[in-house]
A and B are shown apart, each in its own frame.
Chain A
Amino acid sequence: MSEPSTRFETRLGRVRGLGAGGGTHHWWMQRLGSLALVPLSVWLVVSLVTLPAMDYEVAQMWLAQPMTAILMLLFVNVSLWHTLQGLQVVIEDYVHQTSSKITALVTLRFGVWFLMAIATFSILKLAFTV
């Protein structure tokens, strides 16, 4: 009984085990992703707008540069992470049936992981071969 509570929920609420669970952590991680995407987005837009052309060789040469590859790895993976966090909230808000909700959340997460793998592989392959 003397255990100090560090969680914003009552004992009754904890026993019932209802609610989203881990919402504060999710909220904070979402803010961190958003914050990181502010400078990364500015970098991407300025870089793309100042590229002389969008043909194959120019794009390859641009992306193969070390700093471009590093920042692109960050941009794409943080963006996909942010996509996962955002769509997760949208699903939780609008899909109420438990089985559909879990199916949607799992499909989303697997899909995002797959996209992260494709993007990371592509950037690294280019950076190490061109």
Chain B
Amino acid sequence: MSPPTTPQRPLSPHLMIYRKQLTSMLSISHRISGVVLSGGMLIVVALLYALVAGPEVWQRVTGWLAMPLGQGFLIAWSLAFFWHFYTGLRHLFWDAGYGFELKNVYASGYATVAAAVLTTALVWGIVYYV
């Protein structure tokens, strides 16, 4: 008797030809924003350490963050923060058993995107103009 062989079947989902949907994009962006925020934790810890290491170190870190590149980084970081915050909140509601109807999944999905973008804009509006 020959040993059993595993047939080479295609795996699902076919990511390359799969049509993009709000649901799958929010799912992967929740993970990507989480990874971005993990890297951002290095900056958070660096800022805390700089407060103890002295004004020169603080100047160096915040000076870099005040440059256009640093500002761009901070804006991207804050968007990732609010994105992950709202998509994570949506996940917590699912974990509690709420919002599984397809209609609600899409409604909360659009609400998540809107809330993340609006909160980011609001925070930077306050920082720059108030």
Tell me, yes or no, whether B59 is within 8 Å of chain A by CB: yes
Determine if B118 is an interface residue (Cβ-Cβ < 8 Å): no
Name A99-115 residues within 8 Å CB distance of B: 115
B62 and A49: CB pair below 8 A?
A: no
On chain B, the number of residues with a Cβ less than 8 Å from chain A's Cβ atoms is 27
B41 interface contact, C-beta 8 A = yes
**Contacting residues, chain A, for B31 (C-beta < 8 A):** 86, 90
Supposing A60-B51, A126-B52 touch, asked if A76 and B35 sit within 8 A by C-beta, the answer is: no
- Interface flags for B32-58 (1: CB within 8 Å of A; 0: not) read 001101100110110011011001001
Interface assignment of B67: CB less than 8 Å from any CB of chain A: no
CB of B70, distance to nearest CB on chain A (Å): 12
Which of B4-12, B19-27, B84-92, B108-116 makes up part of the contact surface? B84-92
User: Does the CB pair B127–A49 fall under 8 Å?
Assistant: yes
Instruction: Give chain A residues whose Cβ lies under 8 Å from the Cβ of B62.
Output: 54
Inter-chain contact B48/A90, CB cutoff 8 Å: no
Q: Are B48 and A34 in contact (CB under 8 A)?
A: no
Q: A49-B123, A56-B58, A118-B45 are in contact. Are A87 and B51 (CB under 8 A)?
A: no
The interface residues of chain B, by DSSP majority, are classed as: helix
Q: Give the interface residue-count category, chain A.
A: 20 to 34
In residues 10-46 of chain A, which contact B (Cβ within 8 Å)? 31, 34-35, 37-38, 41, 45
- Quick check: B41 and A83 within 8 Å, CB to CB? yes
Are A118 and B48 in contact, with the CB atoms below 8 A? yes
B126 interfacial by beta-carbon distance below 8 Å: yes
A54 contacts across to B, CB distance below 8 A? 62
When chains A and B are docked, how far (Å) is the Cα of A90 from the Cα of B30?
12
Q: What chain B residues lie within 8 Å of A63 (beta carbons)? A: 48, 51
Q: Provide the bound-state CA to CA distance between A87 and B35, in Å.
A: 7
Fill in one digit per residue for A72-109: 1 if any B CB lies within 8 Å of its CB, else 0.
Answer: 10001001100100110010000000000000000000
CB of B101 closer than 8 Å to a CB of A: no
* Contact (Cβ within 8 A) A31 B38: no
- Assuming A35-B92, A54-B62, A79-B44, is B38 touching A87 (CB within 8 A)? yes
**Beyond A60-B51, A87-B34, A122-B49, 6 additional pairs, beta carbon < 8 A:** A49-B126, A54-B62, A118-B49, A123-B48, A125-B52, A126-B52
